[in-house]
A and B are shown apart, each in its own frame.
Chain A
Amino acid sequence: MINEEKVILMTKLASYETQEGKRDISIINYFRGDYISFQVLKSVIAATLSFLALFAVYIFYNFEKLMQDIYKMDLLEFGKNVVILYLCTVGAYGAISYVLYASRYGRAKKNLKNYYGNLRKLAGMYDK
């Protein structure tokens, strides 16, 4: 006689293992703080590279104007503005990635908790 409940449970477990389970386990291998800080660090590096690329485009676009005004303009002020803009961009992007990866970690932990709970339930069914 087929135990329908057991079949449903096993199907759920197998589908989780083959799909999200792999990713969740790779996330949970880290401690929460380590995982999030590593991902945020990667985000900061990505944001820095993107900012540098866009800044280079801006400089090149306004090259003639900048060359003309280079002795007239307050370079310190300009540099300060650029640094502030950089910090704002990287800060905002870092904050978004913190929230995103924190929620991903939380979701992975919850999913795995459910998964282990279901595994125990399944083991209990075999013990009966």
Chain B
Amino acid sequence: MTTLLVAKQYIRNFIHKYEIYLKPLMKLILALMAMMMINGQIGYMNRLDNISIVLIIALMCSFMPMNFIIFVAAAFTVLHLYALSLECAAVVLVLFLVMFLLYFRFSPKDTLVVLLTPICFVLNIPYVIPLAMGLLGTPASAISVGCGVIISYLTGYISDNATTLSSIDAEDIVTRFRFIIDGFLNNRDMLFIIAAFAATIIIVYLIRRMSIDHAWTVAIIAGALADVMILLVSDLMFDTNVSIVGMIVGTVISVLIAKVIEFFTFHVDYSRTEKVQFEDDEYYYYVKAIPKITVAAPSKTVKRINSSKRKSSGAQPRR
């Protein structure tokens, strides 16, 4: 445990020292990942599916605010879909427009989740998102996660049915349009995932705020179990196409990632917890004070025993 805490301290010191370089680097990696995944999944526009363009735009993103990456990813998605069919691009554009105009005006900090959710879906660990947002966010984050799930399912649906879409007569715009909207609205998997994720976020949030020991760990495990249970029940009742093995493996990995998040954001020592009571003119206070653990990273000091002068004089160590 002490080794882990020392490692945490080292990492924290490292981040503090090199924050000015690390921040753009993280943005660059995130933008690269996002754009390469978009290109991999729906790379219909050949001009954009080009590593040099991706690199240039990712470099640009590294010096811009975080929300610029979301804007670029949205633009990439719409342009690729435009190359496939105008109707797809129109539907996705309307979806983005409504999301940004109605919800993300209120909570611009949450927009990153909309980008991270589809990335985690591609990596097969979407279950980490509700756990992380329950730990770090508020119940309102459920809306952002829901938006992320909608986007990843919509793009997934379009990429799965790209051949069908292109086989529909180009003149028949309305049929194409109806095909996309119907497929999107009748997707029961998506609705159950949104419901399960929302419930998980609320459960994790409520438990981690409770005044119990190991609240964060209990919250992570309870949230993961609730998530799996809801998805299994929905699979049994409505025969949704959820891969059970994939879900369980994904959840276990997500729990581990959530534990890492917990370790780095909030680590406290329950053995030195103090409960104090005092009062002022207006209130009685019952305060539970939980000390944070900080371990000083051992610094190496080189102590010279032999001075260079004696060394040069040819002093031999005694045997």
Contact = CB atoms under 8 A, between A and B. Distances in A.
B143 to A, nearest CB: 12
B105 interface: yes
Contacts, number: 34
A111 to B, nearest CB: 18
Given A61-B178, A64-B174, A53 B98 contact: yes
A57 interface: yes
Contacts of A35: none
A118 to B, nearest CB: 17
A10 B219 CA distance: 35
Nearest to B173: A60
Interface residues of A, number: 17
Contacts of A100: 106
Contacts of B177: 60-61
Contacts of B236: none
A53 B178 CA distance: 16
B165 to A, nearest CB: 16
B102 A46 contact: yes
A49 interface: yes
A61 B181 contact: yes
Interface string B72-108: 0000000000000000001100100110011001100
Contact of B105 (A46, A54, A60, A61): A46
A100 B94 CA distance: 25
Contact of B174 (A42, A53, A60, A97): A60
Nearest to B177: A60
B97 A53 contact: yes
Given A60-B177, A61-B177, A61-B181, A53 B94 contact: yes
Q: How large is the interface on B (under 10, 10 to 19, 20 to 34, 35 or more residues)?
A: 10 to 19
B257 to A, nearest CB: 27
A46 B94 contact: no
Given A57-B91, A57-B181, A50 B174 contact: no
A50 B181 contact: no
Nearest to B94: A53
A4 B308 CA distance: 46
B178 A50 contact: no
Nearest to B91: A57
Contacts of B98: 50, 53-54
Q: List the 9 closest pairs (A to B, CB-CB), nearest first.
A: A46-B101, A53-B94, A50-B98, A50-B101, A63-B174, A50-B102, A53-B97, A61-B181, A57-B94
Given A47-B102, A50-B101, 15 more contacts: A42-B105, A43-B105, A46-B101, A46-B102, A46-B105, A47-B101, A50-B97, A50-B98, A53-B98, A56-B94, A57-B94, A60-B174, A61-B181, A64-B174, A100-B106
27 contacts: A42-B105, A43-B105, A46-B101, A46-B102, A46-B105, A47-B101, A47-B102, A49-B97, A49-B101, A50-B97, A50-B98, A53-B94, A53-B97, A53-B98, A54-B94, A56-B94, A57-B90, A60-B174, A60-B177, A61-B174, A61-B178, A61-B181, A63-B174, A64-B174, A93-B102, A97-B106, A100-B106
